[in-house]
Structure 1
Amino acid sequence: MADNTPVNSQITDAITQTNVTVLGEAPAMAIGALSQAMSSSLAVMFANATAAQQQQNIVAQAATAQGVATIYGAGRSEPDTMLSLMTALKATQEVD
């Protein structure tokens, strides 16, 4: 071990102060990292919800267009096609 001189005690004091600073800042750094992770996860969740809503709207528009085309198409009723379209539309609404 080094002799106890004024320079050695100053070095020991500087290192001790640095270690105390690191230990004191650790909880704040951990909470900051946790907050950033939570914010990122929340942003991804909202992006996924928006994408799901857009996809559901596309399916609904396609079903509506197909239904209108079926109604006006041949001038005859096609109940099986309409029933399958209604079933598909209801299935997408039940996912929510």
Structure 2
Amino acid sequence: MADESTVNSQITDAVTQVNETIAGASGSQARALADQVMAHAVGLAMQNAVAQQQQAYILRNAVTTAAARAILQSSPEEALRFAREVLSSDDVAQTLERLGEVMSGVQARQPSKGG
């Protein structure tokens, strides 16, 4: 390096080497950082999916409990109406529809209480 400067040549050589090392490694460090950010984002997405599934199960259990209570306290038709209102866009609603048809068939076959 230049001998005329007031800074020691060993210091300028060390600074130059550090700058070259940083410039050479910055691409791989940026890639590693991007990979870490992507892994973190995927992990959060998976956690959100699991939480959403858990909440859906909780909701289905609550609806099942409410429908069972309605069946015990009133008519099965009212319980099915309630379940259809809550789960109108779910495959559970179709299952409840079939259950209602089966229950109607069973009630039609039962002898009347008065005779």
TM-score computed with the length of structure 2 as normaliser:
0.64
RCO higher in structure (CA 8 A, sep ≥6): 1
CA shift, 1:24, in A, is 0.4
What residue number does 2:85 align with?
Answer: 87
Any unmatched runs of 5+ in structure 1?
none
**Structure-1-length-normalised TM-score:** 0.74
Unaligned runs of 5+ in 2: 92-115
Q: Secondary structure at the match of 1:3?
A: coil
Amino acid at match of 1:55: Q
Question: 1:69-84, aligned counterparts within 5 Å?
Answer: 69-74=69-74, 76-79=75-78, 81-84=79-82
Paired residues of 2:63 and 2:83 also in contact (CA < 8 A):
yes
2:4 corresponds to 1:39? no
Identity of aligned residues (%): 31
Distance in 2 (CA, whole Å) between partners of 1:91 and 1:56 is 13
1:78: how far off? 4.5
1:19 aligns with 2:25: no
Return the structure number with greater helix share.
1
Q: 1:77 to 1:92 in 2, by over 3 A?
A: closer
RMSD of aligned Cα (Å): 2.6
